Amino acid sequence: MLEMRTVTADEFVQWLHAEARAHGNRLDVDPEVLRPHFDLDRSIAVFDQGNIVGGAYSHRLEMSIPGASAVIAGVANIAVQPTHTRRGVMTRMMHHQINDIHERGEPLAALFARESVIYRRFGYGIGSLHERWTIDRQYTGYARPYESRGRIVFVDPIDITKELPEVFRRSTMDRPGVFQRAPHQWERDSQAPEHKQGGPGGLFYAAYEDGGRVDGYVTYRIRGTTLVVNELMAATTEANAALWRFCFDVDLINCTEALKRPVDDPLPWMLADPRRLQRSTRDGMWLRLIDVGACLKLRRYMQSDRLVLEVKDELCPWNEGRFELEGSTEGATCRASSTSPDLVLAVSDLASAYLGTVSFSALSQAGLVDERTPGALLRADRMFAVRYQPWTPHNF
C-alpha cells in the first residue's frame, strides 16, 4: 500500500535523491544549499514501505500575464522512480497537487515537461513556445547598415546581481509568460560552480552599455567552434543589435546557436538573408488554469467585448460550466452564467489561448473549439490578442 504525504525536514534529502534517480542522475548539488528554497508544506512524496518512490513540488511564483501579473504555482520535481512507474503514482500526485493549489487560492499552475504527451490529461496546455536557432557565421549580416553607439563589456559572474536583474525586468516587462528570477536565483547563478572551473564550456556574461547605462546582456558558452547563446536580454533596439553582432563576430567561431528565443523575436527580421537562420519551435511552459473564473478576471483584454465560454474540466468541478466574461484594456469581470455559450472548449485549450500563444480560430481549425455563435471566434481572437507573444526564457 503506497502512502502519499508531505516530506519532513529529515526526509528532504531522501526526497531529492529519489527525484534525481527518477531522472537518471545522481544528486550533484549540496542539498543544504537547496533546503532554504523549499517550503516542505508544498512537497508531495509517495512512500512504499517507508521509502520515497515518487515526489512533486510547487513553488509560489509571480508570472506576467497580459496587462498584469499573477500568482502561480510553479510545478517542479515531478518524478517517479523506475521501480514504480506506470501504476498511477504521478496521476495521484497531480490530482492531489491541483486540489492543493486550488485550496491555496493560487489561480494558475505552470510546469516544464520532459515529454509533451504527459500533461494535457491533467488540464495543462502549451502556455508558451520558443525557438531554437542555428546560423552559420557567413550569413549573419544585417539587412540595414549598423553602427553601435555603446560598448560591450564582460561582467564577472560575481557582479551579475548588480545590474542584470533590472535589465531582465525591463526587457521582459510587456511579455506574458515570464517569471521574474528571485534574488536568490541570481545569487545562485553568480556562484555556480562552473564559474570556478577551468577549461571550455563555462558561461560568459557580457553586457551592453550606452552612456553609462546597462541596456542588455548575453550569457553564452563556447562549444568547439559554436557559440551557444544561453540568454540574451535587450531593453533597447541598439542593445539587441549590438549583442547579436558581438556573438556572431567572436573569433574562431563559425556558428551561433540560441536555445530559447521568443517566436516573435526581431532578429530574423534584422538579417539580410533570413532563410539561413534555422529555426525550430517547441513547447516551452505548460499552463493550467486552476481557477478559470479568477484567471479570466485577472488579465487585460486587447479589445472590449463580452463572451460566454463553456469550459470542460473533468478534474476540477469548480471550473466546469459557463463563464460570462466582460473584458477590456482596463480590466475584466467574470461570472457564472446560464445563457447559451459562444464558444465551448476544454480547460487545457483555454490555457493555450489564455496568454495569447494560440488563437481561438487556430484551435477551432484543430477541432478543439466549438463556435456556437457565428463570429465568436474572431471576437475572442481580438479580445485575447497580445502585443508580444508569450515567452518563458528560463525554468524555475
Cα dihedral angle (342, 348, 354, 357), rounded to 10 degrees? -110
Question: CA 126, CA 348: separation in Å to the nearest integer?
Answer: 8
Judged by CB under 6 A, does residue 80 bind ligand COA?
yes
Report the C-alpha gap between 241 and 26 in whole angstroms. Answer: 41
Q: Indicate the length of the chain as a whole number.
A: 396
By the rule CB under 6 A, 294 interacts with ligand COA: no
The answer to whether 89 contacts ligand COA (rule: CB under 6 A) is yes
Name the one range near ligand COA by CB under 6 A: 35-43, 109-117, 182-190, 385-393: 109-117
Rounded-to-integer distance, Cα 395 and Cα 76, Å: 9
Single residue of 30, 32, 86, 374 touching ligand COA by CB under 6 A: 86
CB 257 within 8 A of CB 133: yes
Closest CB to ligand COA among residues 113, 344? 113
113 contributes a contact to ligand COA by CB under 6 A: yes
In the residue annotation, 396 being an active-site residue is answered as: yes
Among 53, 65, 78, 376, binds ligand COA (CB under 6 A): 78
For residues 157 and 203, is the Cβ–Cβ distance under 8 A? yes
Residue 119 known to be catalytic: yes
Q: Which of 35, 37, 51, 88 binds ligand COA (CB under 6 A)?
A: 88
d(CA 42, CA 208): 40
Residue whose CB is less far from ligand COA, 117 or 252: 117
Total residues at interface with ligand COA (CB under 6 A)? 18
The sheet carrying 125-126 orders its strands as 2-5, 44-48, 51-65, 68-80, 108-112, 285-289, 125-126
Chain-centre distance of CA 71, in angstroms? Answer: 14
Largest CA-CA distance found in the chain, in angstroms, rounded: 69
Specify the stretch interacting with ligand COA by CB under 6 A; choose among 83-91, 230-238, 299-307, 384-392: 83-91
| 21 versus 300: smaller Cβ distance to ligand COA | 21
Binding to ligand COA by CB under 6 A, coded x per residue (else -) over 11-40, reads -----------xx-----------------
52 binds ligand COA (CB under 6 A): no
Is 53 near ligand COA (CB under 6 A)? no
On whether the CB atoms of residues 270 and 142 are closer than 8 A, the answer is yes
Which active-site residues does the annotation give? 119, 396
- The site for ligand COA (CB under 6 A) is made up of 22-23, 78-80, 85-91, 113-115, 117-118, 121
